[in-house]
């Protein structure tokens, strides 16, 4: 039976390679397992959001539509997965040709053209490349899609720098609807110093929603093209994503989402030096 709850639209941003797709995919799987109708939107030219659901099968993309390989019907570009997660991918041009961000803007326009289909979902998740060198990648905010933004970061300086830039992006006046629900730390090294993470979140004015420790089971699942919930449903890693999914939903439903207060570049690097944060 369809949930009577208000639709939850979540946008996840993070530096390339930080594990943003890992987090987003597992959240989608968790919500689907709980009986929600879930739409997962892959906004990366690598078209890798679907890898844990389709066992290597390539889904149709927005680029395929633009180039005439598929029509403009919602059903033609939607891929239904055995786990119950519906997926759309933007795709992207060949390296050095075209603009990856254009695909994200095309996806948002496509969703605007299909309000009835979009309204049928309980949860919509955008998995967005977060280095933010291109305005196209912030199209989900500009098109008014997101009611809650989450930042994915590791404990390392480059990732924190990108997280601070994402917080800075949400301060732009034309993204008035963008509220930061919090930051999720996807740890690269469980034994690395982590005391600075809470300080960083407090400094930029966002809540820590959760942390995902590095776990070999997550990597094993990825190698098999699965989520950890499908690969090892009784594992600690699977339980941690269940907890994280509840925390993300609570942050979206509550009044805690607020405008961030990002640091300037000089202030950020002073913070890094003060806390002796190093790449590992």
**Residues identified as active-site:** 15, 20, 46, 131
CA 121 vs. chain centroid, Å, equals 17
CA quadruple 196, 160, 25, 135: dihedral sign: positive
Token code pair at residue 179: 């509220």
Q: Are 217 and 232 in contact (CB under 8 A)?
A: yes
Task: Name the packing angle between helices 195-204 and 265-274 (round to 10°).
Answer: 160
Contacts of 209 (CB under 8 A, 6+ apart): 150, 181, 182, 183, 184, 244, 247, 248, 251
Closest CA to 110 of 160, 70, 155, 167: 70
Q: Phi and psi for 129 in degrees, rounded to 5? A: -55, 130
H helices of 115-253, in order, are 115-119, 139-142, 157-169, 195-204, 216-223, 228-231, 236-253
Cα–Cα distance, 77 to 75 (Å, whole number)? 6
């Amino acid at each position: 039976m369809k949930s009577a709850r208000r639709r939850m639209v979540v946008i996840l941003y993070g530096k390339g390679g930080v594990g943003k797709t890992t987090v987003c995919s597992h959240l989608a799987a968790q919500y689907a397992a709980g009986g929600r109708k879930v739409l997962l939107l892959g906004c990366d030219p690598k078209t890798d959001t679907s890898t844990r659901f389709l066992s290597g099968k390539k889904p149709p993309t927005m680029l395929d539509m633009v180039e005439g390989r598929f029509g403009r019907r919602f059903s033609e570009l939607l891929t239904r997965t055995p786990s119950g997660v519906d997926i759309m991918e933007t795709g992207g041009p060949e390296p050095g040709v075209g603009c990856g961000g254009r695909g994200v803007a095309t996806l948002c326009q496509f969703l605007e053209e299909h309000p009835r289909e979009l309204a049928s979902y309980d949860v919509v998740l955008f998995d967005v490349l977060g280095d933010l060198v291109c305005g196209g990648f912030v199209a989900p905010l500009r098109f008014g899609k997101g009611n809650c933004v989450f930042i994915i970061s590791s404990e390392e300086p480059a990732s924190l720098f990108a997280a601070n830039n994402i917080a800075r992006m949400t301060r732009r006046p034309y993204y008035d609807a963008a509220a930061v629900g919090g930051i999720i730390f996807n740890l690269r090294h469980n034994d690395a110093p982590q005391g600075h993470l809470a300080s960083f979140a407090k400094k930029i004015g966002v809540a820590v929603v959760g942390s995902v420790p590095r776990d070999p089971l997550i990597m094993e699942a990825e190698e098999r093209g699965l989520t950890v919930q499908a690969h090892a449903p009784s594992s600690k890693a699977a339980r941690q994503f269940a907890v994280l999914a509840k925390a993300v939903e609570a942050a979206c439903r509550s009044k805690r989402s607020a405008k961030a207060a990002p640091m300037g570049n000089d202030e950020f690097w002073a913070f890094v030096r003060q806390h002796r944060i190093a790449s590992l």
